[in-house]
Amino acid sequence: MAAINWGYGISKPRAIDIDRNNLRRSDEILHEMPELQSCIGCGSCTAVCTAGNLTEFNFRKVHTLVRRGEYEGAYELMNRCMLCGKCRLVCPRGINTRGVVMLIKRKLGDF
């Protein structure tokens, strides 16, 4: 039986569909930087972030989405980072945040 089309499918579904998302690049990123998985989402990084206070950039959100296989726009957002490193000084999990920014840019961008 074909699925019923209710006609509401104009915009892309908002759900993060882990079944459809390809986690290969996310796995590669976590393989190089396993400690990223230890993020407890406390938001300290975004709280101190100059770029995050001025723009939509939210380091925590971007890397969390990347870990879920949502890569779209991640490279462009990470480019807003000034790499100043304040986030690394406040991260309670000891994540090498600047390394994460550069790793995500490398894996999802063009260098």
Instruction: Please state the closest distance from residue 88 (CB atom) to another protein, in A.
Output: 8
| Residue 18: how many other CB atoms lie within 10 Å | 10
Q: Which of 74, 80, 104, 108 binds another protein (CB under 8 A)?
A: 80
Instruction: Please state the closest distance from residue 55 (CB atom) to another protein, in A.
Output: 5
Q: Is 84 in the site for another protein (CB under 8 A)?
A: yes
Q: Is 53 in the site for another protein (CB under 8 A)?
A: yes
C-beta of 19 vs 79, nearer to another protein: 79
Q: Is 73 in the site for another protein (CB under 8 A)?
A: no
DSSP-derived 3-state class of residue 55:
coil
Chain-centroid distance, C-alpha 32: 15
C-beta of 9 vs 95, nearer to another protein: 95
Q: Is 58 in the site for another protein (CB under 8 A)?
A: yes
Are 80 and 73 in contact by the 8 Å Cβ rule? The answer is no
Task: Say what angle helices 97-108 and 59-67 make with each other, to 10 degrees.
Answer: 50
Whole-angstrom distance, CA of residue 80 vs CA of residue 55: 8
Amino acid at 19: D
Residues binding another protein (CB under 8 A):
35, 40-55, 58, 60-61, 79-80, 82-86, 88-96, 98-99, 102, 106, 109-111
